[in-house]
Chains A and B, each alone.
Chain A
């Protein structure tokens, strides 16, 4: 009886910590697995085709990664837009 109680207490204390620890580690893993399962990378590749003329210097994969972290480089987007306009007007 004592053993059962001890095992129960052990599980109650250990399992939540294990789950919490794995949860903290795997936020990036969750996102990567979701990206793979939803095939977002192929969407990004597809998106590259549409904007080859305008965003020549911008890699859509990098843009997507920076969008995930919330650090989109607005300046480079605006610069490439201006460059495309200049190229067309000349």
Chain B
């Protein structure tokens, strides 16, 4: 195609032919990109929707295991962070990726207009924002949980000791019965958490694999086309590979964030139980 456009004697027509070819390739790539973007958005919405139904049940089960302080501290933070992260990624991060990709594509059309750096800036910002939010999420949830689980454990132990010693005759048995009920709740909570994690993996795995395959294909295409194709097309394919890599990072980080969140909820009340 490059030879075809270069073979034309009129330079203006040759350039227009090149642009038409470039726009055709961009249209093909963008159709694919928009489809993937929809898949990513749907998956994030499913992840957030599922977490919004999982967390209240987990927190209720936490309360039944006696982790009242942990549940009161964690539920608002966790629900806020999950909903906020979902909306933030769909409303801010993905549009930033879109803008960065658009700028990258536009900057490769002409040699005169260069907005490559702006595109790179947006992409780097996305990666940094994701990293910071992931760290904040894990940090806040784990610190809150570690502090409150000790309080819960000691409170429950004190209450059990008081029941066992102050209630005559049936005090010890009552304490044991409470322990049995709490143990059952704990088993239910752990089972719910495990099922939740399996479902989270199920929701996230297909888009992640899809993005990974697309990223590989675009990089491979860029590598294979380098000897034969125009430099701008190679850069475009490379740019699209980078975009899919960013989308893959977004999907991985949000699913890992939710899996860590669920695991921490399971672990926090389990560590409270250790005090008994």
Residues of chain A at the chain B interface (Cβ within 8 Å): 11-12, 15-16, 19-20, 23, 27, 30-31, 34-35, 38-40, 43-44, 46-47, 50-51, 53-55, 60, 63-64, 67-68, 72, 77, 81, 84-85, 88-89
B169 in contact with A12 (CB, 8 Å) = yes
| Contact partners of A39 in chain B: CB under 8 A | 57
Asked if A19 meets B205 with Cβ closer than 8 Å, knowing A64-B195, A68-B191, the reply is no
Q: Is B26 an interface residue (CB 8 A)?
A: no
Q: Once bound together, how far apart are the Cα atoms of A15 and B167, in whole Å?
A: 14
Over the window 200-223 of chain B, the binary record of Cβ atoms lying under 8 Å from chain A Cβ atoms (1 yes, 0 no) is: 011101100110010000000000
| Contact partners of B210 in chain A: CB under 8 A | 88
Closest approach, in angstroms, between the C-beta of A27 and any C-beta of chain B?
6
| Contact partners of B5 in chain A: CB under 8 A | none
Q: Once bound together, how far apart are the Cα atoms of A30 and B181, in whole Å?
A: 7
Residues of chain B at the chain A interface (Cβ within 8 Å): 46, 49-50, 53-54, 57, 60-61, 64, 169-170, 173, 176-177, 180-181, 184-185, 187-188, 190-192, 194-196, 198-199, 201-203, 205-206, 209-210, 213
Closest approach, in angstroms, between the C-beta of A49 and any C-beta of chain B?
9
Asked if A68 meets B206 with Cβ closer than 8 Å, knowing A19-B177, A23-B177, A77-B198, the reply is no
Asked if A50 meets B50 with Cβ closer than 8 Å, knowing A38-B60, A38-B61, A68-B187, the reply is yes
Asked if A30 meets B180 with Cβ closer than 8 Å, knowing A16-B173, A40-B188, A43-B57, the reply is yes
B192 in contact with A40 (CB, 8 Å) = yes
Asked if A19 meets B202 with Cβ closer than 8 Å, knowing A30-B181, A34-B184, A38-B57, the reply is no
Q: Once bound together, how far apart are the Cα atoms of A20 and B175, in whole Å?
A: 12
A23 in contact with B195 (CB, 8 Å) = no
A34 in contact with B188 (CB, 8 Å) = yes
| Contact partners of B203 in chain A: CB under 8 A | 50-51, 54
Closest approach, in angstroms, between the C-beta of B48 and any C-beta of chain A?
11
Which of B173, B184, B203 has the most chain A CB within a 10 Å cutoff? B184
| Contact partners of A89 in chain B: CB under 8 A | 213
| Contact partners of B191 in chain A: CB under 8 A | 64, 67-68
Give 7 A-B contacts (CB < 8 Å), ordered by A residue.
A20-B176, A34-B184, A38-B64, A64-B195, A81-B202, A81-B205, A85-B205
| Contact partners of A23 in chain B: CB under 8 A | 173, 176-177, 180
B194 in contact with A72 (CB, 8 Å) = yes
A63 in contact with B198 (CB, 8 Å) = yes
| Contact partners of A72 in chain B: CB under 8 A | 194, 198
Which of A50, A53, A81 has the most chain B CB within a 10 Å cutoff? A50
| Contact partners of B170 in chain A: CB under 8 A | 15-16, 19
| Contact partners of A40 in chain B: CB under 8 A | 57, 188, 192
| Contact partners of A88 in chain B: CB under 8 A | 206, 209-210
| Contact partners of B184 in chain A: CB under 8 A | 27, 30-31, 34
A64 in contact with B202 (CB, 8 Å) = no
A47 in contact with B173 (CB, 8 Å) = no
Closest approach, in angstroms, between the C-beta of A78 and any C-beta of chain B?
10
Contact of B50 among A31, A47, A63, A77 (CB under 8 A): A47
Which of B50, B60, B195 has the most chain A CB within a 10 Å cutoff? B195
Closest to A47 in B: B199
- Besides A50-B199, A54-B206, A63-B195, 11 other A-B contacts (C-beta < 8 A): A19-B173, A27-B184, A30-B181, A38-B57, A40-B192, A47-B196, A51-B202, A60-B199, A64-B195, A81-B201, A85-B209
